[in-house]
Amino acid sequence: MTAPVELEVGRIVGAPVARKEDQKLLQGQAQWVDNMRQPGMVFLGVVRSPYAHARIKNVNVDPALAHAGVVAAWSGADIADEWQGSLPCAWIPTEDTNAPEHKPVAVDKVRYVGDAVAVIAATSRGAAEDAAELVEVEYEPLPVVVDPEAALAEGAPLVHDEFGTNECYTWKLDAGEVDRLFAEAAVMVTERYRQNRLIPNAIEPRAVFVTSIPATGEFTLWSTTQVPHIARVTLSGVTGIPETKLRVIAPDVGGGFGSKLNVYAEEALALAVARRLGRAVKWTETRSEGYLSTIHGRDQIQEIELAATADGKITAVRVKLTVGMGAYLQLVTPGIPLLGAWLYAGCYGVEGYSFECTGVFTNTVPTDAYRGAGRPEATFAIERAVDALARKLGKDPVEVRRLNFIREFPATIASGLTIDSGDYDACLDLALEKSGYDDVRAEQLSRRAAGDPKRLGIGLSTYVEMCGLAPSAILGAIRYAAGGWEAATIRCLPAGTVQVLSGATPHGQGHETAWSQIVADRLGYEVDEVEVLHGDTAVVPLGMDTYGSRSLAVGGIALYYAAERIVEKAKKIAAHVMEVDEAKVDHVRGVFHGPEASLTLKEIAFAAWTAHNLPAGLEPGLEATYVYDPPNFSWPSGAHVAIVEVDTETGAVELLRYIAVDDVGTVVNPIIVEGQIHGGLAQGVAQALYEEGIYDDDGNLLTSNMVTYLVPSAADLPRWELHRTETPSPTNPLGVKGVGETGAIASPAAVMNAVVDALAEDGITDIDMPATPERVWRALEEVRS
């Protein structure tokens, strides 16, 4: 742990400043959505389908209406005229993508367990819950399909009859002479992996609170959202409430990890009920309800082939994904696997690249963004396959990696994008040194020689990922419906403090602290003199919100350039006040030096506010906005090492050590960076060892609550050993890359490579995630028999 240090001007970016956000959170003073209340408000209760696939024959809400405290109750049909459009999907990847209508409350058919069929408005939470149980719904059950491959088979039950298929889309990316390279390959590896379905589990459940002024038609929606700006424009489309009449506020939000990067039925429903009743409306999911109504992640079947020379130089990669979309398309459901589309060759230079992804409807909760979104999957496939290649060649995985690393930057990779910078050898060198790789290998051998039933395994993951979403033109080219820019405003107030309006919308990341550091560093304010406002469309009108490790690499750069604009204007005022030529004024972190005198930015801000003596034609006030559209993604990389012990008698896997070397470019605040990596590692290790959302053949979610879905506790995870290398990104002036997802991207591969490495001598080459004791034991039994 790095202790906070006293700040010096010029050393603020990079300093371990303790977070400004903490005080209210530590004292129970956060403004969570579920804290909101208003006299006369109603609570929503949502009636959800117990069937994964069924026709709705009849919905009778009368018994619910008779219950004390119930104000109103509606079936999907009763409330259908509230909807001007479907719940949004902003990423339709191909022209012929099958995109179903998605109403907030189902009308004719339910398509997954949890699909909403009716809604109750009642004067208390308890009355809403009780009344929801009184609604009588008559269902005609239909055949169910939950597995994406089974859903593509001839005769599979159709989730959406109108398409005549469960295929949502197929998207391809081909580069180089892949077939020739495979035909000429001396060695080939063909692997098949399963990306387990994951449930994000942000610790704050989702909640919505709506107030309105019926006479003016104005609505304010407080939501546990990562994306208030995207929510406003899309919910306007769903409800028909004009954007001018809809204000969306994300107050304190308790984690997201992608699950709150969405626009949900209950947000639209709360607006519609508020419009119908003219009363404030609140809905808060229970955790178990969230498992059935908040998006899941992953659920991919991955087939990957490598073509290589006899000594292990990879020449081509061919990938085919079959991905469960779930029953509907949420905000970015179809695009999630495509965020990995360019990364299946990892940090290795190849000539040929072929990627194909088929999205498939199933009778399950929709999948969407979960920490890493497409990139953990890609990293897992290539890193596992490289280990498989090393085993096939009888070489150490380190050697095969070194043989294939990209070493010249910027590097245009076979899939077509350009990696900004990196030094993959430096990361690997440090990871090997810090893990004592050679010693662990030696111990592994001696354990084997001694016949120790506890095998040692060591797993590598040398990853590169693309984040900082994203250049708007590239997003347009891949048919994403919005831009990738971000906005920041700096407003120098007259009495010596400064407001920052951030379009990026934090939910635990520490933007207030990091943004304050950047402003302090550029403009000479103290960190505590900077006030960062965010997450309210009325206060911060411009924004694209927070996801994809984009906030610093895009929003932070917008802030940097806004500061440049402040300096530009302040310099004019300084020159005017000092009566010197502007060219003779130098700016150094908030102080403007003329030949004979100096003015501070605070003095200039006051002068700009009084406007008593400004240069002719210059507007009063000192405020600047910058909207930054990045020229490239940013490309963090690193080398992670997992060391595991696998008990061949019980199947238990213990993660003994985890060493992470990450290169995330310039670091603004090392404690925040470390915290982000810790959290990402915990979620990635959880994917490898603990977590899986499991459906039975009838479409019942068997892991339907926090007891049956194993989110790891402190006792289940090791101490993280973190190290860093630093190659600044050359595509932005701060050199930053992004850190929110690296841990979750790199770690599943490292852990599973270690588990397989431990058992390779036993003849095991793959174990599905999560590698539970039962799964490991069964795999061992299979090879033993």
Partner 1 sequence: MRNVSLTVNDVLYELELEPRELLVYVLRERLGLTGTVVGCDTSSCGACTVLLDGESVKSCNVLGVQADGAAIMTIEGLAENGSLHPLQESFHEHHALQCGYCTSGMVLAAVSLLAENPSPTGDEIRHALEGNICRCTGYQNIVDAIEAVAR
> Which of positions 171-200 make contact with partner 1 (CB under 8 A)?
none
Tell whether residue 35 is a contact of partner 1 (CB under 8 A): yes
Tell whether residue 740 is a contact of partner 1 (CB under 8 A): no
The CB density around residue 153, as the number of other CB atoms within 10 Å, is: 10
Shortest Cβ distance from residue 251 to partner 1 (Å)?
A: 12
Shortest Cβ distance from residue 724 to partner 1 (Å)?
A: 16
Shortest Cβ distance from residue 29 to partner 1 (Å)?
A: 7
Shortest Cβ distance from residue 706 to partner 1 (Å)?
A: 4
Q: Kindly tell me which of 616 and 707 has the beta carbon lying closer to partner 1.
A: 707
Tell whether residue 266 is a contact of partner 1 (CB under 8 A): no
For residue 533, CA distances in Å to 227, 273, 343, 483 come to 15, 30, 35, 22
In sequence order, the 6+-apart residues with CB closer than 8 A to the CB of 415 are 173, 175, 341, 342, 343, 344, 345, 353, 355
Q: CA–CA separation, 185 vs 304, rounded Å?
A: 15
In sequence order, the 6+-apart residues with CB closer than 8 A to the CB of 332 are 89, 90, 91, 261, 262, 368, 369, 373, 480
Q: Using alpha carbons, select from 482, 485, 432 the residue that is nearest to residue 721.
A: 432
Which span sits near partner 1 by CB under 8 A: 50-58, 273-281, 506-514, 583-591?
506-514
Tell whether residue 446 is a contact of partner 1 (CB under 8 A): no
Shortest Cβ distance from residue 404 to partner 1 (Å)?
A: 30
Tell whether residue 717 is a contact of partner 1 (CB under 8 A): yes
Which span sits near partner 1 by CB under 8 A: 19-27, 308-316, 577-585, 590-598?
19-27
Binds partner 1 by CB under 8 A, chosen from 12, 13, 15, 21 = 21
Tell whether residue 28 is a contact of partner 1 (CB under 8 A): yes
> Is 522 within 8 Å of 560 (Cβ atoms)?
yes
Q: Kindly tell me which of 204 and 757 has the beta carbon lying closer to partner 1.
A: 204
Q: Kindly tell me which of 676 and 772 has the beta carbon lying closer to partner 1.
A: 676
Shortest Cβ distance from residue 5 to partner 1 (Å)?
A: 12
Q: Kindly tell me which of 175 and 671 has the beta carbon lying closer to partner 1.
A: 671
> Which of positions 566-625 make contact with partner 1 (CB under 8 A)?
none
Residue-wise burial string across 655-690, b where 16 or more C-beta atoms lie within 10 A, e elsewhere: bebbbbbbbbbbbbbebbbbbbbebbbbbbbbbbbb
> Is 526 within 8 Å of 17 (Cβ atoms)?
no
Shortest Cβ distance from residue 248 to partner 1 (Å)?
A: 19
Shortest Cβ distance from residue 654 to partner 1 (Å)?
A: 13
Q: CA–CA separation, 526 vs 507, rounded Å?
A: 24
Binds partner 1 by CB under 8 A, chosen from 612, 715, 784, 785 = 715
Shortest Cβ distance from residue 30 to partner 1 (Å)?
A: 6
Tell whether residue 449 is a contact of partner 1 (CB under 8 A): no
Binding mask 200-239 for partner 1 (x = CB under 8 A): -xxxxx----------------------------------
Among left, alpha and beta (phi > 0; psi -120 to 50; other), residue 665 is left
In sequence order, the 6+-apart residues with CB closer than 8 A to the CB of 498 are 490, 491, 492, 519, 523, 525, 529, 530, 531, 605
Residue 668 in tokens = 């603004």
Binding mask 236-255 for partner 1 (x = CB under 8 A): ----------------xxxx
Tell whether residue 734 is a contact of partner 1 (CB under 8 A): no
Tell whether residue 751 is a contact of partner 1 (CB under 8 A): no
Shortest Cβ distance from residue 552 to partner 1 (Å)?
A: 15
Binds partner 1 by CB under 8 A, chosen from 222, 720, 754, 755 = 720
Binds partner 1 by CB under 8 A, chosen from 5, 10, 25, 619 = 25
Tell whether residue 6 is a contact of partner 1 (CB under 8 A): no
Binds partner 1 by CB under 8 A, chosen from 711, 723, 726, 768 = 711
> Is 115 within 8 Å of 100 (Cβ atoms)?
no
Q: Kindly tell me which of 68 and 186 has the beta carbon lying closer to partner 1.
A: 68
| Alpha carbon of residue 260 to chain centroid | 9
Q: Using alpha carbons, select from 489, 488, 487, 491 the residue that is nearest to residue 620.
A: 491
> Is 113 within 8 Å of 134 (Cβ atoms)?
no
Q: Kindly tell me which of 460 and 682 has the beta carbon lying closer to partner 1.
A: 682
Residue type, 179: D
Q: Using alpha carbons, select from 396, 291, 317, 362 the residue that is nearest to residue 711.
A: 291
Tell whether residue 693 is a contact of partner 1 (CB under 8 A): no
In sequence order, the 6+-apart residues with CB closer than 8 A to the CB of 599 are 574, 577, 578, 591, 592
Residue type, 277: L
Tell whether residue 411 is a contact of partner 1 (CB under 8 A): no
Tell whether residue 19 is a contact of partner 1 (CB under 8 A): yes
Tell whether residue 785 is a contact of partner 1 (CB under 8 A): no
> Is 459 within 8 Å of 684 (Cβ atoms)?
no
Shortest Cβ distance from residue 682 to partner 1 (Å)?
A: 4
In sequence order, the 6+-apart residues with CB closer than 8 A to the CB of 185 are 307, 308, 309, 315, 316
Residue 187, class by beta-carbon neighbours within 10 Å (0-12 exposed, 13-18 middle, 19+ buried)?
A: middle
Binds partner 1 by CB under 8 A, chosen from 104, 468, 510, 535 = 510
Q: Kindly tell me which of 305 and 691 has the beta carbon lying closer to partner 1.
A: 691
Which span sits near partner 1 by CB under 8 A: 63-71, 143-151, 624-632, 701-709?
701-709
Q: CA–CA separation, 736 vs 726, rounded Å?
A: 10
Size of the site for partner 1 (CB under 8 A): 60
> Which of positions 520-559 make contact with partner 1 (CB under 8 A)?
none
Which span sits near partner 1 by CB under 8 A: 28-36, 515-523, 619-627, 727-735?
28-36
Binds partner 1 by CB under 8 A, chosen from 65, 85, 123, 125 = 125
Q: Kindly tell me which of 4 and 615 has the beta carbon lying closer to partner 1.
A: 4
> Is 741 within 8 Å of 758 (Cβ atoms)?
no
Containing H/E element for 435? helix 424-435
Tell whether residue 34 is a contact of partner 1 (CB under 8 A): yes
Residue 416 in tokens = 């077509």
Rg, Å, the chain Cα set? 27
> Which of positions 630-689 make contact with partner 1 (CB under 8 A)?
671-672, 674-675, 678-683
Residue with tokens 């400064």: 498
Shortest Cβ distance from residue 704 to partner 1 (Å)?
A: 10
The CB density around residue 525, as the number of other CB atoms within 10 Å, is: 24
For residue 567, CA distances in Å to 68, 519, 598, 605, 666 come to 63, 11, 14, 11, 23
Q: State the residues that interact with partner 1 by CB under 8 A.
A: 1, 3-4, 18-19, 21-30, 32, 34-35, 37, 125-126, 201-205, 252-255, 257, 284, 286-288, 507-510, 671-672, 674-675, 678-683, 705-707, 711, 713-715, 717, 719-720, 743
